[in-house]
A and B are shown apart, each in its own frame.
Chain A
Amino acid sequence: MAATNPEVARAGTGAPRSPLSETWRQLRGPLIYLLPAALVMLTVTFYPLVFQVWMSFTDYGVIREEGKQTLNRFGPGGLPPANYRPPEGVGLQNYTDILTNEPSFVAKLGGNFDFWRILGFNLWWTFSNVGFHVSLGILIAVLLNVEGLWGRKIYRAIFILPMVLPNIVIATVWRNMFDDQYGAINQLISMIAGSPIQIRWFNQIEPPIPGIPLPLSYYAMLIANIWLGWPFMSIVATGALQSIPKEMYEAASIDGATGRQQFWSITLPLLRPAMVPAAMVGIVMTFNLFHIIYFMSGGGPLGRTEIMVTQAFRLVNVNQLYGVAAAFSVLIAAVLIPIFLITNRITRATETYDG
Chain B
Amino acid sequence: MASVATTPARTGSAVRQGSSKSGRQLKWWQQALYQALCLFIGATVLFPVLWIVSMSLDPRNIARPTELNLIPPGASLDAYRQVLDRPTGNPVTFAELAMNSLRLAGGVALFALLIGVSAAYAFSRFKFPGRQYAMIAVLGITVLPAVATIAPLFALLNGIRITATLLSIALGIAGLLAAGFGLLIIVPAWRSGTAVGSTYLLGGVALVMGLILLVTAVSPPANDIFILRNSLLGVGIAMISGALPFAIWNLKGYLDTIPKELEEAAIIDGASANQIFFQIVLPLSTPALAVTGFLSFTTGWTEFFLSWQFLTNPQDFTLAMALYNMTGQYAGSVPWSRFAAFSILVSLPVAIVYLLLQRYIVGGLTLGGVKG
Q: Give the B-binding residues of A (Cβ under 8 A).
A: 2, 4-9, 23, 26-27, 29-30, 32-34, 36-38, 40-41, 44-49, 51-52, 55, 60-61, 71-74, 76, 140, 143-153, 155-156, 158-170, 172-177, 179, 181-182, 184, 187-188, 191, 227, 231-232, 235-236, 238-243, 273-274, 276-278, 281, 284-285, 288-291, 294-296, 298, 308-310, 312-313, 315-317, 322-323, 325-326, 329, 332-333, 336-337, 339-340, 343-344, 346-353, 355
Judge whether A5 and B125 touch: CB under 8 Å: yes
Q: Which residues of A contact B141 (CB under 8 A)?
A: 41, 45
Task: Name 30 A/B residue pairs within 8 A (Cβ), A-sorted.
Answer: A4-B125, A4-B263, A4-B267, A7-B273, A29-B128, A34-B122, A36-B118, A37-B244, A45-B241, A48-B153, A52-B149, A158-B42, A162-B45, A168-B302, A169-B302, A175-B331, A176-B339, A239-B5, A239-B10, A240-B6, A274-B4, A276-B1, A285-B372, A288-B372, A295-B327, A309-B145, A313-B150, A329-B149, A350-B132, A351-B2
Judge whether B327 and A175 touch: CB under 8 Å: yes
Please name the residue on chain B nearest to A167 by beta carbon.
B302
Contact of B48 among A227, A326, A353 (CB under 8 A): A227
* B29 on the A face (CB < 8 A): no
Q: Which residues of B contact A36 (CB under 8 A)?
A: 115, 118-119
Judge whether A6 and B273 touch: CB under 8 Å: yes
Judge whether A239 and B152 touch: CB under 8 Å: no
* B139 on the A face (CB < 8 A): yes
Given pairs A41-B245, A166-B347, A232-B365, 18 additional interface contacts (CB within 8 A) = A26-B127, A29-B126, A44-B241, A48-B153, A71-B154, A71-B159, A143-B34, A143-B37, A163-B354, A165-B350, A236-B11, A241-B18, A273-B3, A277-B4, A290-B372, A317-B309, A322-B155, A355-B260
A interface, by DSSP: helix, strand, loop or mixed? helix
* B187 on the A face (CB < 8 A): no
* B51 on the A face (CB < 8 A): yes
In the bound assembly, the distance between CA atoms of A315 and B346 in angstroms comes to 29
In the bound assembly, the distance between CA atoms of A285 and B150 in angstroms comes to 18
Judge whether B38 and A143 touch: CB under 8 Å: yes
Contact of A175 among B137, B148, B328, B355 (CB under 8 A): B328
Judge whether A44 and B126 touch: CB under 8 Å: no
Judge whether B150 and A353 touch: CB under 8 Å: no
Please name the residue on chain A nearest to B141 by beta carbon.
A45
Kindly identify, within residues 243 to 283 of chain B, every residue whose CB is under 8 Å from any CB belonging to chain A. Answer: 244-245, 248, 256, 259-260, 263-264, 267, 272-273, 276-277
Please name the residue on chain B nearest to A144 by beta carbon.
B38
Task: Please give the distance in Å from A302's CB to the nearest CB on chain B.
Answer: 15
Judge whether B126 and A8 touch: CB under 8 Å: yes
Please name the residue on chain A nearest to B298 by beta carbon.
A166
Please name the residue on chain B nearest to A350 by beta carbon.
B135
Please name the residue on chain A nearest to B138 by beta carbon.
A41
Judge whether B366 and A236 touch: CB under 8 Å: yes
Judge whether A295 and B31 touch: CB under 8 Å: no
Judge whether A172 and B147 touch: CB under 8 Å: no
Kindly identify, within residues 131 to 165 of chain B, every residue whose CB is under 8 Å from any CB belonging to chain A. Answer: 132, 134-141, 143-145, 147-156, 158-159, 161
Q: Which residues of A contact B267 (CB under 8 A)?
A: 4-6, 9
Judge whether A184 and B351 touch: CB under 8 Å: no
Q: Which residues of B contact A48 (CB under 8 A)?
A: 149, 152-153, 156, 241
Judge whether A149 and B273 touch: CB under 8 Å: no
Please name the residue on chain A nearest to B369 by beta carbon.
A281
* Cβ contacts B342-364/A at 8 Å (1 or 0 each): 01001100110011001000100
* B129 on the A face (CB < 8 A): yes
Contact of B351 among A41, A164, A227, A284 (CB under 8 A): A164
* B219 on the A face (CB < 8 A): no
In the bound assembly, the distance between CA atoms of A285 and B67 in angstroms comes to 35
Judge whether B149 and A149 touch: CB under 8 Å: no
Judge whether B326 and A159 touch: CB under 8 Å: no
Judge whether B132 and A242 touch: CB under 8 Å: no
Kindly identify, within residues 4 to 35 of chain B, every residue whose CB is under 8 Å from any CB belonging to chain A. Answer: 4-6, 10-11, 14-15, 17-19, 21-26, 30-31, 34-35
In the bound assembly, the distance between CA atoms of A34 and B48 in angstroms comes to 45
Contacts between chains A and B (CB distance < 8 A), count: 360
In the bound assembly, the distance between CA atoms of A41 and B249 in angstroms comes to 13
Judge whether A289 and B128 touch: CB under 8 Å: no
Judge whether A344 and B150 touch: CB under 8 Å: no
Known: A149-B34, A326-B152, A333-B144. A168 touches B336 (CB 8 A): no
Q: Which residues of B contact A73 (CB under 8 A)?
A: 159
Judge whether A182 and B64 touch: CB under 8 Å: yes
* B305 on the A face (CB < 8 A): yes
In the bound assembly, the distance between CA atoms of A177 and B339 in angstroms comes to 12
Q: Which residues of A contact B238 (CB under 8 A)?
A: 44
Judge whether A243 and B140 touch: CB under 8 Å: no
In the bound assembly, the distance between CA atoms of A55 and B42 in angstroms comes to 49
Q: Which residues of B contact A37 (CB under 8 A)?
A: 115-116, 118-119, 244, 248
Judge whether B309 and A316 touch: CB under 8 Å: yes
In the bound assembly, the distance between CA atoms of A309 and B143 in angstroms comes to 13
* B225 on the A face (CB < 8 A): yes
Q: Which residues of B contact A76 (CB under 8 A)?
A: 225
* B222 on the A face (CB < 8 A): no
In the bound assembly, the distance between CA atoms of A242 and B12 in angstroms comes to 11
Please name the residue on chain B nearest to A76 by beta carbon.
B225
Contact of A289 among B137, B159, B346, B372 (CB under 8 A): B372
Judge whether A277 and B126 touch: CB under 8 Å: no
Known: A227-B44, A240-B6, A347-B4. A30 touches B366 (CB 8 A): no
Judge whether A153 and B19 touch: CB under 8 Å: yes
Judge whether B128 and A353 touch: CB under 8 Å: no
Judge whether B119 and A52 touch: CB under 8 Å: no
Q: Which residues of B contact A152 (CB under 8 A)?
A: 19
Judge whether A322 and B48 touch: CB under 8 Å: no
